[in-house]
Structure 1
């Protein structure tokens, strides 16, 4: 009976070791997949942010052009108090941004 008990104990140890190795391998594979998913999510988020930034830049450009036209119209109508100063500052800002 001693030999049979030893075989059963050895078989149990082998099965336990195999299950442990399988569990560790599975956990490692899940971790690698989660890292890959997070990297893909970050890339998608970055792409979405780039699109939003491009849209906002275009919108800001149109707003600046509209503001410049409005200030120009006010100056032509004779509003000379702070309109020329604001118009000059806006033009200076737009020129500086164009050369960046």
Structure 2
């Protein structure tokens, strides 16, 4: 009877150990899968943000060129108060950005 109890205890211990190892393995696999998914989502967000930034840069470039043309037209019409100052600052800014 004593050896049967010992066998049952041993089998129970082995089964518990196996289930524990399986649980740990499953947990680690789930964590790695989750980390890969988070990395993939972050990469997708980065690509979308890069596209948005590029679109905004193009839009800002067009706005600056339009503003430059408007300031040039105002200067040609004789608006000399702060128009030449603003036009010069804008030209300096655009030149600085072009050489960046």
- TM-score normalised by length of structure 1: 0.96
Unaligned runs of 5+ in 1: none
The answer to whether 1:86 aligns with 2:82 is: no
Matched residue count = 100
Matching residue of 1:76: 76
When the two chains are superposed, the root-mean-square deviation of aligned CA atoms in Å is 0.7
Matching residue of 1:37: 37
**3-state SS of 1:79 partner:** coil
In structure 2, C-alpha distance between the alignment counterparts of 1:92 and 1:26, rounded to whole Å: 61
**3-state SS of 1:81 partner:** coil
In structure 1, C-alpha distance between the alignment counterparts of 2:44 and 2:8, rounded to whole Å: 53
In structure 1, C-alpha distance between the alignment counterparts of 2:90 and 2:77, rounded to whole Å: 19
Deviations along 1:31-60, whole A, 9 cap, x unmatched?
A: 111111111111111111101100110010
Structure 2 matches for 1:1-100, cutoff 5 A? 1-100=1-100
- TM-score normalised by length of structure 2: 0.96
Unaligned runs of 5+ in 2: none
Q: CA deviation at 1:6?
A: 1.0
**Structure 1 segments of 4+ aligned residues over 4 angstroms from their partners:** none
**3-state SS of 2:96 partner:** helix
